[in-house]
Each structure stands twice: as C-alpha cells, then as structure tokens.
Structure 1
Amino acid sequence: MLSSAAASLAALLFSHAALAFDPFVVRDIRIDGVQRTEPGTVFGYLPVKVGEMLTEDKAAAAVRALFATGFFKDVRLEVEGDVLVVYLEERPAIASLVITGTKEFDQETIKRALRDQGLAESRIFDRSVLERAEQELKRQYLSRGKYATRVTSTVTPLERNRVGITLAVEEGESAKIDSIRFVGNKAFTEKQLLDQMRLTTPNWLSWYTKTDQYSREKLSGDLEALRSFYLNRGYLEFSVDSTQVSISPDKEDVTLTVALTEGGVYRVRDVQVRGQLLGRDQEFTSLVSLAPGQTFSGQKLADSQKAITDRLGTLGYAFANVNAVPRIDRDKREVDFEFLVDPGRRVYVRRINVSGNARTRDEVVRREMRQFEDAWYDAEKIRLSRERIGRLGYFTNVRVESRPVADAPDQVDLDVIVDEQPTGAITFGVGVSSAESLILSASLNQQNFLGTGKAFGLSVNTSKINRSFALSYADPYYTPEGISRAFDLYSRNFNAAELDLGDYKWRSSGVGIRYGIPYTEFDRISMGLTYETNTLKLGGNAPQRFKDYVADFGEDSSALLAVLGWQRDSRDSAFAPTKGRFQTATLEVTLPALDMRYARALYNHQWYLPLSKDYTLALNGDIAFGRAFGGKEYPLFKNFYAGGIGSVRGFAQSSLGPRDAIDDVPLGGQTRVVGSAEFIFPLPGTGNDRSFRSFVFLDAGNVFPTGGIDLGDLRYSVGIGLNWASPVGPMKLSFGFPLNKKDEDRSQRIQFQLGTGF
C-alpha cells in the first residue's frame, strides 16, 4: 500500500511539473496505453469533461482519481493544443492462481479466503494485496496450530499484460501442547481444572480429536468453562487475569499458562423480582431457583433468568430482558440479587423460513410446526415444533432462531435451520457357501423417500436355503390432519433340509394395511389388518414339533390378523435423544374366519433421563406375550427370541431360551422379557459431537416356552459400546460379557450393526 501511495505521489509531482500550463477549455480527450480497460471506464472515472475549463488543480484531481481505481500503475496527462491526452500504464491482470502443498485445507476454502482479500483470477494484480493474502493464509494455518508454515509466492509475467501467481505452502507439523499450567488456584487442583478444558496434552485419541493443538478459539471456550466451573461453586468474583502462550524455538511445542484469581465463596442473602411483571409477581418469583441461604451458583442464576424469559416468551414477548443485578457484601461474603424484568413489546410471527433442507421438502418440516405464521409468538410452541422436527429422524440438528422484522417492532420472522443426515440404507451382497451355493441379497430402506417424509423399504434375498421378498410403504401424512397409512407385502421361504435341520420346507406370505391416528402432540393409535398364509411341506425326517403343527393346522394354514397399537414419543430427538420417553404397545389378534387362532401383546418403553449436558441415562423395557385360543396350538413361527444387539448383548443373536433336543437350534418362546440400562456419554476427546456416543450397559432378559416368567432364569450381561453416525451409515458396536452363562447358552462378545447411508 505504501509503494502504491509513493508511486501516486511521484506521478502527481511529475504531472504538476509537466502540466505547467495556462487554464484552457478542453475540446477533446484522447486515451492512450489501455489494452483491457474500456475507454468508457476511464472516462467514467475522469473528473474532466469535454467543454470544461482544465486547471492545474483539476489535472491533479484527475491523476488522483485514476490512480485510486487501482487499475493503473502509471498515469500521465499531457496537453496537445486544446486536446487533453491521458497516458496510462495498466496493472497486469491475474490469469491464474495456483496453490500447492496444502493438506490441512481444501483448495476451494483457501481460494475463497484469498478472494475475500482481493486476490483471485481475473482481478487486477497488486503486490500489496498479494502480501496481505500471504499473511491471511499464514493466519489460517496458525488457527490450526501450525506455527512453522511458510508461504512462498512466485509471480510469472505472461503475454497481454497478465501474470500467473503460484503460492507454494510448506505446512510443517502442527505444534502440540506440551503442558498446561495454572497460577493462583488454591481451592481446586490442577487436575480438576484440566478436566474442565477441551485442550489437552497429547493422549491416545488426540490424533483424531486434535485437542492437543492450540487455537485461540478453543482456549477462549476453555476459559469460559473454567469461569462457569468456579461460578457454579460460589466464586462470584473469579477472574482470569492473563493467559500466556509460549512456543518452543522449533515451533513444535506450546506451553499454556493461565493466571487466575479465585476470590471467595459467596452465599445468597436475598432475592427480589421487580420490573414490569404483568400482574404475575408470584409466578415469576416461583421461577427463581436461586434461594436465600444457598451458596451462589452461576448456573442457577442463569437458569432463573432463562425460566422467566421463557415464560414471557410463551406469552408472546419474544425479546424480553431479565437482568440480575448483584449487591455484594465483601465483608460478610454475601450477595443480594434483584431480577429486573422488562418484557418489551408483545410480538407475533410474520413469516417462517426453512433452510438447510437440500433433500427434504419444506412441507415435511412445516407440517411439524406448532407455531404458525400470523399468530402470537409462543416460545413453548416453538420448542415443541423443534422437538417434533427432531423426532422425524431426518436431521442431526434443528435450530429455530427469531429475527426481528425491520421497521416492525411487533413482528418477528422465525428461521428454522436443519442439518440433514442420511435417512436411508442400501446394501448389496453376493456370496458363495458350500451349503447355499450362490447367495444374492439386496435391501433398500429410505425413511424420507425423495424428501417427502414417506418411508419405503424393499429387500430381496435368494439362496438354496432362504428366499425372501419384502416390500413396505408408509405415508405419515396420508391426510393433512396427520393420519398415516402403510402397506406391507412379504414372502419368505426356508428349506431346512439344506442345513440338516430337518426334512421340511416353509413358506410364509402376507399382505397388510395399517392406519395411524394422532390424538395428542405425543400420542398416536394405529389399527390394521394383515392376511397371511403359511405352507409347511414335510419330508420323512421332519422334526416332531412340525409334525404336531401340521396335525393341528394342516400343511396350508392362513390367518387374518387384526392389529391395534399405541405409541407415545416425547423424546427431544430421534437421532440422539437425551430426554423424554418412547413407548409402544401392540395387540395382534387373529379373527375367527380362518385357521389359526392366537394373540400376541408387545410393550416397549424407552426412557431417557438427562444427568447433565453431556451424560444421559437410558432405560429400556420390553415384554411380549403370545397365546393360542380356540383349542388351537400356538404357531411355531410366531415365537419370540432374545439375545444379541437389541436384547441381551453378549449372547449370540436369538440364541436364548429353550433349544431343540435333536438339532440343538433355538426354539424361542411364547413370552419374552428384556430390560437394559445404558449410561451414555460423549466419546472421550470428541466434545459435544453427537455423531459419537459411547455407553456402558447392563442387560437382562430371556424367553420362556409357554408358562409364566421365571425371574431366576433371566440372563444378565454387562459391557461397553459405541453408536456412530458414520459416513457409510449408522453403526452400533458393543462388547458384551455374560454374567451368568449356562452350558446351553451361546456367547458372542463382539456384536455390531452397520448400514450404508445415502
């Protein structure tokens, strides 16, 4: 920039020397020296027009104006009679910009940052802009902890007054945090304070989390976490005095030193709520969780302010302001708080905007909204809307932000911002085995088909032993009121003789339809009919249980199944719930018109209890009963099974319960009881990344043949696991350890599920 200014000054002085002339009327203006710049552009910037009187002051102003465009590196004015001649030397244009050696950032990210600095292809080349761009590039690397980064620029002249620019980057190694020290801490140990910070020294996971790489933003967040830690324990006057960042001479190690003043522990002496309370003095006072006699807590103070603000939000006051004013008695270490309430103006929602849904249609999001346009702002309805959108399972994150409308103080717009996630799974399989020869399988499941919110599923499997086909389709908004409709079509064939499990073949086919009716914001009932046929072909060496089945139902049997269900979903998210419940109850009963006569009842209850911002306790209970009536036997293929992921981990999939004495295969049972408790926490080093969720679990369960439940026969297991929304689809991995394995049980320590997302 200084070089440009010096050139302008020199040119201006030269122009004054050259233009020692008497004022005259300009009859014509001639432009010389331009190649890319249009003459019209020059005339547009030139403050002198044909027919005007040209003075030395106007000539100097003309030179300054043309230099100020940045297009030219030399400007001269000459006079030929009454003609003003403008001689220009253009700056070169940037023909190409090549960046090499970058691994930390992708090319587009870097070019976008350089473009913001004024350096990009087709722009005018300016050496000062290039220097600024180099510094910006180094600054970007410094934010990633790379202090040894070097940037070398090369400018190559090209034909037609153009240049090619090459930026060669040597990234170097990222500087690691060698140590983190605290000065001034007396009440808490260094280890306790380090536990509050995301920045760490190198550990076994830091290669992935990068928490051992210093950045100013990360440190600011950690200092806020330290401040909250002290404030929540009564240290009202805690302060961070300074932070010192020391870099080793080789720029590979960083030492952080945090100097702090703890102050003393304060107790709350008195709390008052004042201001414009809208006649709700008692109600607002009851929302304050900070009580006299308690040790001061910054979290309780913030919660109290939020509770009053949220309550005002439900009344339409979107921009209410609640300030807590402290009065500190340092001698007694006591503090009084006065909550000053200013509700502001009551507002209504003008417009709701949806963004981030590249795949999902707007209407799929909007139909879950309970806050409507042209209605009074209601914070509770907005919260409910956000949770309903989150329960769809299509998005990893849902945010709703209020934005004031310009020149309309009683209106706001709502911005609903969603982050989409893969909602489908597609798998293909080809295999060869000695038992089944060629095996082909494929499945397609999409919970948000073509972005419409409808669910579609198709699976095909073919081999000598198993052949199956299943098709399902569900429309959650078959009617605008939210009544859902679903169809199912399936056919399954099993040839047991190929596995030496008995001389029989089984085929089961069915078609069904279901309707769901919502009757509260969280509850829905469903009802449907399924027609199913079963064919059992027996050979001479068929197991006795199948002979008994044929004796009771015949080789061909059918059933018309009536299904009644109930579902309640109050979770805050279907992707990674932290609070709320999910309950389902289903009753299946065969109608008397056809062969089989049985009923099945199933109930599942999932309960998520938030223990803190990062920790959740998840409880799950599952109980199911099946019984025959009308003098018929209970169908074998309707038995329940337990074991594996989804029931009792650590035991082989569907292996628990009684087994056939001859072929040693699991028989299942008419009763199933399964329960589990999971303590869910972030994977160490991943912060609040909800795509990673680790857990420890305790499982219990079993299946029982016909009679009641024998709690003494339950199987137990403990273990650890990981849920990961991986780039190829959702993955669940568990390491289970059976606690009371019997001789007949089959254990399986490592179990996982993986789908391919799209």
Structure 2
Amino acid sequence: MKLKLRHIPLLVLGLYATSSSAMEPFVVKDIRVEGIQRTEAGTVFNYLPVKVGETIDDQRAAQAIKALYGTGFFKDVRLEQEGGVLVVTVQERPAIAQIEFTGNKAFPSDKMKEGLKQIGLSEGMIFDRSMLDKAEQEIKRQYLSQGKYGATVKAVVNPLERNRVAVRFDIEEGAVSKIRSINIVGNQVFEDSDLLEQFTLTTPNWMSWWTKDDQYSKQRLTADLEALRSFYMNQGYLEFNVESTQVSITPDKRDIYITVNISEGEKYTVTDVKMAGEMLVPEDELRTLITLQPGEIFNREKLTSSSKAIGDRLGNDGYAFANVNAVPEVDKEKHTVAFTFFVDPGRRVYVRRINLTGNTRTRDEVLRREMRQLESGWYAADKINRSKQRLERLNYFEEVNIETPAVPGTADQVDVNLDVTEKSTGSVMFGAGLSSSEGVVFGVTVNQANFLGTGNRVSAQVNTGKVNTTYSLSYTDPYFTPDGVSRGFDLYRKDVDSSSLDVGSYSTASYGAGVRFGIPLNERDTFSMGLTLDYTSIDLESDSPDRYKDYCDSTSGCDNTTLRLDSGWTHDTRDNILFPNKGVLQKLSGEVGLPGLDQEYYKINYQHTWYKDVTKNVTLMLNGELGYGASYGSQDFPFFKSFYAGGVNSVRGYETSAIGPRDIDSSTGDDFAVGGTKRVVANAELFFPVPFIKDSKQFRLSAFLDAGSVWGQSGGTNIEGNCDGASDCLRYSTGVGVSWYSPFGPIKLVLAKPLNEQEGDKTEVLQFQLGSQF
C-alpha cells in the first residue's frame, strides 16, 4: 500500500493530537509542568504557545506539543486537563555528562572533542542518538585522512543518574596504509620515472615519515592526475586522456596499489594563431602577449598564460570582466592545431568605493595611502595588484585579501573590498647570533613598526659582537609628506675592534646623529639623502701598524669630526625580499665627508643583482658590486673606511676581509690585510629547494661561483705572493650553501673551496652565520 505525500502532514498532526487526548476546549486558569528535572519551568512556559486566560482546543494543543517537541529537550510530551488547569507532562531527553575516548593515539582527546563539538556533540548538550553515527563517521574520516584505512570506531552509551549519559568511543587505529605501487599503463613516449616525478604521492622513502607522501588521499591523487595531464599537454599531446584509475587495498588494510591507465595520443604542432572579437587595445600590442607561436609544439601552459595576459591587459584599462577564450581548430589527420583568441572585453567599469575591514589597530589612512587604485577611478588590475604588494611589504598584516564584487543594480561599477588580518608589529627581542667572523653576537631590540597605528617606525637596538658593537635609536615617518617622502632621525654609537680580523689592530668609537629623507621617484625607484654629524675616536695600540699611526700624524690626530652627506638610489623589482625568484635590485650609494672638518673623503658603491626563475623551483642569481673611494684636498683617505672582500657575504672560502694587498707589522712581524680604495665583487648563484621538502618558504640550497678583488693600497714588498693591482688581487671560489629562515633568525651555512689560492692567503672551508648580521 502506497502512502501519498499529501497525507503526511495530517498524520503528524494526528500524532500530536493523540498526545493531547482529544481535549475539549476550555479556558486555561493555570498551567502546571510535571516531569522536569534539569529544565526550568520558565523555559517550558517560554516555548508553550498557550497562556493563562486563553482558550485551548485540539488544534492549539497540537501546536503546543509540536512547539515543545521542537525544542529538542523532550522525548515525550502530554497535555491533560484538571479542572481549569492545563497539566504539561514531559519526559526529558538525557544530557551528555561526559565524552571519553579509548585507543586514540594519533589524535589527542581534547582535539577530538573540539571536532565533535563542531557537529553538535559535546558535554552538557542534550543527547541525540542520531548524532552517534555522524560522530563515528567524522572520527573515522579523520583517521582515513592519515592513511589509517583499518581504523574502527564504536560508540558506547552508558546511562547515569539524574537522567544523564556517558558516551565512550572505542577506537582501534590500526596501522597506516602505505602506497606500495603506482603503476602507469599506456605510456610509450615517456618513461615511468619521468611521469612519476609529476606525482606528489609516492611509495615509501626515507623522508616519508616527515612528508607523508606515501599515504593515499583521493584529493592528492586527483591533483597528481591533473599535473600529469599538464605535463603531456605542455609537451604537445593535445589528445592525452586518463582512461581510468584503480585504487585497491589489501584485505589487511595495510597496502594500497594505484593503477593509472592513460592514452597519450599524438603530438600536435601549432599552425596558426589568430585574434577575433572587439579589439579595444591595439591588436599588435595584444599579440606581443601571446607566447604560443605558429610552428611551435602545442603547449597548454603558454596558451593559458597568453589568455590570462590579454585579460590582465584589458583589466588595466578598466575592463574588469574581460573574457578571452582560445578556440582550437584541430586537424587530427595532420596532427596540427590552430587557435583563435576571441576577445570579449565586456563593459568598462570604475571603482565606486574602497571598503576596509580587519584593521582594528592600524588607522585607515595607513592602508589607503598604499592603495594605487583610487575611488571613482577606472578599474585597473595592475594598480590593485600593486596595492596588495605594497600592503604586504608593510609587514603589518598576516594576510591581505582583496575582492572586487560588482555593485548590485549596476553594470559599470565595482567595489574594492580590502580585508586584512593584523599581526603584532611591536616586539622586544633578546637574542644571540653566531658568525664565523663576529663570533657570538648578543643583542636586544625594542621595535615598533606601526607605532600607535600610524605606520611610523620606532626602534632601539643594542648588538654586541667580537668586532662590532652598536647602540642605536631611530624614528621613521614613511609619509612625512602626503606624496610619500619619508623622514627619519638616528642616534647611534658604534664600536669596532679589529683585533680578531685579518687586518691591522685598531679600535674605533663612533658617535653620531643624523636626519635622512627618502623620496619615491616611482613605484620601483627611491632616492635617499641624509646628513650625519659623526665623531670618531681611533685607539691604536703599540703593535698597531705604522700606516695607521702615520694617518693620525698626517691629519688632525686620532679624534675626527665629520659632517657626512649620504645619498643613494634604489631600484627594486624583486617579487620577494626574503627569497626572490625574479626581479632586479640596483643600488647606487655614496657618502662624502664635507669639507671644513677633519675628514675629507668620498666613497661610491654600486650593486646590481638580477634574479631569474629558470624553472618553478630553481632561481638563478647574478650579482655585481663596484666600490671606489678617495680623499680630496690634503687629507689622507681614512684607513677605517677602506674596502675589504672575503667572507660569507662577498667571496666565500676566504676569511672575512682577507682578500687584497697585505702588509707586515714591523713590531710583531705578523702580516695583515690593508684593504683598498677600489673593490669589485661578482657572484653567480643557483638556488633550488631542499630535496623532499616541497614548496618550503624557509629553506633553500644553492651552488655558487664567487670572484672578487680589492686594490688601491700599496702592500708590503717583502710578502711572498702579495698583490697590488686588480688582476693580481683577484680571487675565485666555488661551493654550496644552505639558507634557513629559522625562528631564531636567518641562518646561512656555506661549504666553499678557493679556486686560485695564493701563498699567504687566509682561507676557510666552512663558514656560517646565525642571526640578523647578514
């Protein structure tokens, strides 16, 4: 017998009506609640849709019972009449007094309780037996995500006094299921090893305990199959297809076998690339954005990036919803394909409003002044992307998210919704570092990068090392003027003790105060200028080199006052400051001791660093540095301003400051580096990820080739192998290194070998630094 759906509401009302026992209508003079143990009577009165003085009949009684059932507090509700009193008799559902777990090792009990609370099962809540199956499935799902396919979960309910229950989940975790084999069937062009390199899933290896890449996941397998498809498509196999995938598990739930059946198809060549549609940007300009050219092997990555580049270019002119589709014309007999890029720019839109959320401490103006997209201006995708980059580089926020929804009811307006997640920008750090040149470095830094939410930076720093000891106090206003000119003030004291370096023995104590300005020339270029009054006291020992003593005799003595002018230009297009993958960094800086005081000299430095992402995970870095210094007037060039090379940050494999001319101390007979007024350094370095650690943003390996020379000072003539000219002093080295941005600060470890070591050179095979000194 079939029950029609329209009869169900009648049956439900009939069920409620039976609980009210076909009540005769009467006026309620009072209401009495019976059977409650934990629930307050006021709670029942609140949900009961009948009040004293009202008339109740069968229909209202059914409504009252339905309302009380709907609370979920009761498993039985009855209404009765005693004279003019409405008697509400209830039977409460039990409450969950406690939830326990047995046999769980992979997940802590408190974490599992938090997970069950998300699905509505927790201590103190009303017990609902229907939730047990859901809870069991949720717990089992968590174990499946860890590859434990043999895990079993059973819920046990024990009644307690006062209408309560205890829920216990008995868990048998079982062993972790491992992928024992990934078999690819149907490949003829590429070897299995080449295809398996595209997979993140793999069979057990020595790093699987850390990466968990030998544990099956349906989501990861789907991603791997898409990566395999992209690999073939980028090699020209337009018709590649995954025919089927089989995943089997052994009866003991320990071993998993994956079989992927593929069809490679033929390799296709591109015969023609055309454009069609509405060309609001000159076609010649759009064609330069297409990287897939006729005569090339088909490459899906190039095709996708070309469509995106055209869409982004249209987005820069306000066409936020431009649609670019590359439609293929396939010739299966000749195995060729032609593409037509259909361009639909859509309607040009402008930004109505920029909405800010999440900045509870940071003032709105701090965010708005970094925005390159303006309200009431045409939408520009490049300006919005640049705005996000500038906000991220502030380092005030953990996350910066920008959305551009269309304004409801309009066809030509969007809003820019900017949501940030703030992080702590103030810190008091006590730390220590270790360097092969500085030794142990102790430091304390009090820093507030976003002082009172204004975006101004205040910093006090103390760093003590074997060579350099610095005390400084600085304040920077990055927007001293509305157009982005920054102004900063600095107070410092810096002590240098060279006794542990391969240079002549001396020490200096410098005190100074200065003011500096930064002037943005455009989005990537900045010009800086500063003026500093510096007092430097030079302390020479009896065994200090004669050339140092001669310097003090030829000038006003070992105490010098300098009014120093600093200026510089910086061009920075790097995509990341910590671990760049592409972009250029150029720096031109100079300092001049202005005439009229004790030191009259100038120094010029130029650095050009170029990054190129050779592949997704491999980056090539080329760096070149030039330095030149001289004195003017009758003053000698200050020896403590000389250039040096060698060490972990210039030419690795040689001791810090060891490259260049050398001299002999007449009193001790020891030779030392004298530095120079000219310096050149060149580095070529290939960065790549640490094996078995994929997509790490903290580790990076490198192989490098360094070269550098310092000259311009005359060395001692009786030192074997000494050098005076640029070519004579040129040194090469090669090696490998690892960088780790650790919680304790950046760590750099280098293993280097000099390639043209000369007699008397000071070399180091292993060099390292820990802390912010590099």
Question: Which TM-score band applies after superposition, normalised by the shorter structure?
Answer: 0.7 to 0.9
In the TM superposition, residue 709 of structure 1 has moved relative to its aligned partner by: 5.7
Q: 1:43 to 1:705 in 2, by over 3 A?
A: same
Match of 2:609 in 1: 606
1:436-455 correspondence to structure 2 within 5 Å: 441-444=442-445, 446=447, 448-450=449-451, 453-455=455-457
Match of 1:288 in 2: 290
Match of 2:721 in 1: none
Deviates more, 1:486-495 or 1:642-651: 486-495
Work out the CA distance in 2 between the residues paired with 1:699 and 1:303: 36
Per-residue CA deviations over 1:262-288 (Å, capped at 9, x if unaligned) read 222223344443334347455445543
For residue 227 of structure 2, give the secondary structure of its aligned residue in structure 1.
Answer: helix
Match of 2:770 in 1: 754
Deviates more, 1:393-402 or 1:86-95: 393-402
* Consecutive unaligned residues in structure 1, runs of 5 or more: 1-7
Alignment of 1:325 with 2:336, yes or no, is no
Deviates more, 1:321-330 or 1:558-567: 321-330
Identity of aligned residues (%): 49
User: Equivalent of 1:679, from 674, 686, 690?
Assistant: 686
* Consecutive unaligned residues in structure 2, runs of 5 or more: 1-8, 715-723
Q: 1:530 to 1:259 in 2, by over 3 A?
A: same
Match of 2:429 in 1: 426
1:282-321 correspondence to structure 2 within 5 Å: 282-321=284-323
Alignment of 1:742 with 2:758, yes or no, is yes
Per-residue CA deviations over 1:373-417 (Å, capped at 9, x if unaligned) read 332210121222233334446668755433334444433333446
Contact 1:503 1:540 in 2 (8 A): no
Q: 1:454 to 1:722 in 2, by over 3 A?
A: farther
User: Equivalent of 2:585, from 575, 582, 586?
Assistant: 582
In the TM superposition, residue 600 of structure 1 has moved relative to its aligned partner by: 0.4
Supply the AA of the counterpart residue of 2:649.
G
1:192-207 correspondence to structure 2 within 5 Å: 192-207=194-209
Work out the CA distance in 1 between the residues paired with 2:423 and 2:729: 42
User: Equivalent of 1:704, from 711, 730, 734?
Assistant: 711
User: Equivalent of 2:518, from 508, 516, 519?
Assistant: 516
Supply the AA of the counterpart residue of 2:445.
L
Contact 2:563 2:593 in 1 (8 A): yes
Work out the CA distance in 2 between the residues paired with 1:22 and 1:426: 76
Supply the AA of the counterpart residue of 1:254.
I
Match of 1:474 in 2: 476
Deviates more, 1:496-505 or 1:163-172: 496-505
Match of 2:576 in 1: 573
Supply the AA of the counterpart residue of 1:633.
D
Contact 2:504 2:673 in 1 (8 A): no
Match of 1:632 in 2: 635
Match of 2:567 in 1: 564
User: Equivalent of 1:717, from 733, 756, 763?
Assistant: 733
Contact 1:671 1:709 in 2 (8 A): no
Match of 1:728 in 2: 744
Alignment of 1:274 with 2:276, yes or no, is yes
Q: 1:335 to 1:740 in 2, by over 3 A?
A: same
Contact 1:185 1:260 in 2 (8 A): yes
Contact 1:24 1:82 in 2 (8 A): no
Supply the AA of the counterpart residue of 1:725.
Y
User: Equivalent of 2:226, from 218, 224, 227?
Assistant: 224
In the TM superposition, residue 519 of structure 1 has moved relative to its aligned partner by: 1.6
Deviates more, 1:378-387 or 1:408-417: 408-417
User: Equivalent of 1:532, from 534, 552, 575?
Assistant: 534
Q: 1:669 to 1:103 in 2, by over 3 A?
A: farther
Q: 1:613 to 1:105 in 2, by over 3 A?
A: farther
Work out the CA distance in 1 between the residues paired with 2:81 and 2:253: 60
Work out the CA distance in 1 between the residues paired with 2:459 and 2:23: 89
Q: 1:576 to 1:15 in 2, by over 3 A?
A: same
User: Equivalent of 1:666, from 659, 673, 678?
Assistant: 673
Q: 1:359 to 1:574 in 2, by over 3 A?
A: farther
Q: 1:512 to 1:24 in 2, by over 3 A?
A: closer
Work out the CA distance in 1 between the residues paired with 2:89 and 2:44: 11
In the TM superposition, residue 637 of structure 1 has moved relative to its aligned partner by: 0.8
1:69-148 correspondence to structure 2 within 5 Å: 69-80=71-82, 84-97=86-99, 110-148=112-150
Work out the CA distance in 2 between the residues paired with 1:675 and 1:516: 28
User: Equivalent of 2:697, from 690, 693, 704?
Assistant: 690
For residue 235 of structure 2, give the secondary structure of its aligned residue in structure 1.
Answer: coil
RMSD in angstroms over aligned alpha carbons?
Answer: 3.9
Supply the AA of the counterpart residue of 2:644.
Y
Match of 2:596 in 1: 593
For residue 230 of structure 2, give the secondary structure of its aligned residue in structure 1.
Answer: helix
Q: 1:547 to 1:270 in 2, by over 3 A?
A: closer
Match of 1:4 in 2: none
Q: 1:506 to 1:732 in 2, by over 3 A?
A: closer
Q: 1:338 to 1:506 in 2, by over 3 A?
A: closer
Alignment of 1:402 with 2:404, yes or no, is yes
Q: 1:292 to 1:496 in 2, by over 3 A?
A: closer
TM-score, length-scaled by structure 2:
0.85
In the TM superposition, residue 298 of structure 1 has moved relative to its aligned partner by: 0.9
Q: 1:103 to 1:653 in 2, by over 3 A?
A: farther
Contact 1:422 1:729 in 2 (8 A): no
Work out the CA distance in 2 between the residues paired with 1:454 and 1:664: 48
1:27-42 correspondence to structure 2 within 5 Å: 27=28, 30-39=32-41, 41-42=43-44
Work out the CA distance in 2 between the residues paired with 1:541 and 1:304: 68
For residue 602 of structure 1, give the secondary structure of its aligned residue in structure 2.
Answer: strand
Contact 1:327 1:337 in 2 (8 A): yes
Work out the CA distance in 1 between the residues paired with 2:469 and 2:283: 70
Deviates more, 1:64-73 or 1:213-222: 64-73
Work out the CA distance in 1 between the residues paired with 2:515 and 2:182: 63
TM-score, length-scaled by structure 1:
0.87
Match of 1:375 in 2: 377
Deviates more, 1:339-348 or 1:497-506: 497-506
Alignment of 1:349 with 2:365, yes or no, is no
Contact 1:425 1:755 in 2 (8 A): no
Work out the CA distance in 2 between the residues paired with 1:669 and 1:159: 89
Supply the AA of the counterpart residue of 1:679.
L
Supply the AA of the counterpart residue of 1:389.
L
Work out the CA distance in 2 between the residues paired with 1:396 and 1:606: 28
In the TM superposition, residue 311 of structure 1 has moved relative to its aligned partner by: 1.6
Deviates more, 1:366-375 or 1:564-573: 366-375
Work out the CA distance in 1 between the residues paired with 2:627 and 2:713: 12
Supply the AA of the counterpart residue of 2:577.
A
Supply the AA of the counterpart residue of 2:444.
S
Match of 1:3 in 2: none
Contact 1:150 1:169 in 2 (8 A): yes
Alignment of 1:642 with 2:645, yes or no, is yes
In the TM superposition, residue 132 of structure 1 has moved relative to its aligned partner by: 0.6
Q: 1:709 to 1:364 in 2, by over 3 A?
A: farther
Contact 1:524 1:567 in 2 (8 A): yes
Contact 1:443 1:457 in 2 (8 A): no
Q: 1:100 to 1:596 in 2, by over 3 A?
A: farther
Work out the CA distance in 1 between the residues paired with 2:504 and 2:62: 105
Contact 2:433 2:772 in 1 (8 A): no
The number of aligned residues is 744
Work out the CA distance in 2 between the residues paired with 1:43 and 1:483: 68
For residue 443 of structure 1, give the secondary structure of its aligned residue in structure 2.
Answer: strand
Contact 1:475 1:484 in 2 (8 A): yes
For residue 406 of structure 2, give the secondary structure of its aligned residue in structure 1.
Answer: strand
For residue 713 of structure 1, give the secondary structure of its aligned residue in structure 2.
Answer: coil
Q: 1:128 to 1:527 in 2, by over 3 A?
A: same
In the TM superposition, residue 594 of structure 1 has moved relative to its aligned partner by: 0.6
